[in-house]
Amino acid sequence: MGYLGILEDTKLSHVPATVILNDGAAESTQSQQAGRLKHATGKSAHIVLVPQPSEDPNDPLNWSASKKLLYVVIICFGGCLYAATYGPMLNAGLFVIGVELNHPIGDITLISGYQLLVAGSTGALVSAFSRKWGKRPAFLFSSLLGIIGSIIGSASKSYNGLLAARVVQGFSTAAYESLIISMIGDLYFVHERGLYMAAVQMILGCVSNFSAVICGPITTSLGWKYLFHLCVLFSGLQTVLLFLFCPESQYLRDHRYDTDELLNDNISDLADAEKRHATTIESADLAKTETVTSTRQNHRPLIKKTFIQELAIFTGSYTDENIFQLILTPFAVNLNLAVLYVTVVTGTVTATYVAIAYVVAQLFSVPPYLLTATGVGYMFLGPFIGGIIAVAVMSVISDPLIAFCSRRNGGVYEPEYRLLPMAIALLSGVGLMGFGALAEAQKSLYACATMHGLALFGIVAATTSASSYALDAYREMSSEIFVAGIIYKNFLFYGFSYFVNSWTARSGPAEVFYVFGGVAFALVLLTPIVFVFGKKYRSHWARNNVLEKLHLKTHAEF
């Protein structure tokens, strides 16, 4: 039995995703071999880089820290707009918009539901497109559709016009909900990902709440159309920055550098190659012959691309799979039970939280509260603060926690260590139930907002932990995993838009959120099973990969 009860595997000598992370704590032979691989710098100099970067300066893992940060900031800016703001931006003004357009609040909620339906329906297409031709064109086309949808919204004067705007906006969402997460695996090593995963969850969770704080007063003061005017402005700015400063992050790296994905980690071979690189003056030529095995990469010049070259929208094909197989893959990855766990947990707990957003205006725009759109928007300060605190906590504990566990495990890192913070996710159930009980009893607005914030605190912990686990344990299919997640999540959102408001009106918020809270508790309590049996299941999947039997690939073999 491994550290903290993780069951060891007896079938394979090396289980994919189990890697040496700390060579100082590794066994002597492993330590000597790992010591010759590329390492982090500074205070993390004892950390082995996973995956190992190639010799190519165009490898995103070799980009400068400033270039990576700029890339992440611009993509996250897009995430703030298309994934976090577009969806909930009307929530604070649902009651006002319903009165103006002479439609019940349920119909206005359904408009947002249609937007999420489009986002979920296009998820598989986005996954296939990005796997075939890269993430850059997927991001660019999504941003352009976001601008077009916002222009339609700014000119709409009717319910149908608003519906059309929201549907077109929905096409911009999928890429920024899924590819934004797998992008982290393109740019950063295992020991660096926790901070950025937390940042992404802040965007997808916290920023969506803060948008309501801003959108509420704008709706009250200027009208809901001004929300679309501002979307046109900021979406246009983001698209220009995206085109100029975000080159393609997908990269055809020699697969043996991916030490976290292979049945044989090839540490000794890589260590020998690194030694030869360090001791020969012909390292550039050797890089092409010793560390790269594929024909395609043998002929790749190790010359850094110019700024103009990086502006190319299409940079070639990244897989030989046909587009129909790629469309099927996000659904097929859920045949992996660990992936199914990640999909269901992250999607469901997020959906239960979004149910609160659907009913806030319904509960607090009527007596005894009588809040305006501005007041309803300010109600979202509670979850925004709760989410920010959760992100701060996860940022502080995530990467140091896995480093600590790896040291205690002889320098060996197991992806299951990413699941330890799931214990915090139990607060999601507490917050959901607390919100329902307080709203039913018509208690203080501040108390309701606090419970709303507690729910998001737990949900951010759940989504960050589960998503980080998926990225580290099954990085070779991470894009498909996160696309599967948004498909599932957005279809749940769409389904909720049909009945949550009427259920709340009929039975009261206590019953609704007791049910949702109970579901959150049940899902989080599945985590110990995945933690204990995760390594054995990774071994089983490596030996019995169902996707291979179906001739579906999630990682091109280079």
Quick count: other Cβ atoms within 10 Å of Cβ 379? Answer: 27
pLDDT band of residue 280 (cuts 50, 70, 90) is very low
Q: Is 190 exposed, middle or buried (0-12, 13-18, 19+ CB in 10 A)?
A: buried
Answer yes or no: is pLDDT of 272 > 90. Answer: no
**Average pLDDT for 439-450:** 94
Residue 119 resides in a domain: yes
Answer yes or no: is pLDDT of 273 > 60. Answer: no
What is d(CA 355, CA 347) in angstroms, rounded to the nearest whole number?
12
The pLDDT value recorded for residue 184 is 86
Q: For position 526, which CATH number holds?
A: 1.20.1250.20
Q: Which of 57, 34, 56 is nearest to 47 (CA)?
A: 34
| Phi, psi for 365 (deg, rounded to 5) | -90, -5
The pLDDT value recorded for residue 131 is 86
Residue 371 resides in a domain: yes
Task: Quote the pTM value.
Answer: 0.75
Rounded to the nearest angstrom, the gap between the alpha carbon of residue 383 and the centroid of all alpha carbons in its chain is: 19
From start to end of 176-264, where are the E strands?
none
Amino acid identity of 505?
Answer: A
Task: Please check whether residue 552 is in contact with residue 329, taking contact to mean a CB–CB distance below 8 angstroms.
Answer: yes
Q: What are the structure tokens assigned to 109, written together?
A: 């909620």
Residue 55 resides in a domain: no
Report the domain count for the chain. Answer: 1
Residue 272 resides in a domain: no
Q: What is the DSSP string of 254-301?
A: -GGG-TTT-SS--HHHHHHHHHHHHH-TTHHHHHHHHS--SHHHHT--
Domain residue limits at 406 = 60-252+325-549
Residue 303 resides in a domain: no
Answer yes or no: is pLDDT of 557 > 50. Answer: no
The tally of CA atoms less than 13 A away on the side-chain side of residue 225 is 11
Residue 227 resides in a domain: yes
22 or 376, which is more confident? 376
**Average pLDDT for 345-358:** 88
What is d(CA 513, CA 533) in angstroms, rounded to the nearest whole number?
31
Residue 233 resides in a domain: yes
Residue 293 resides in a domain: no
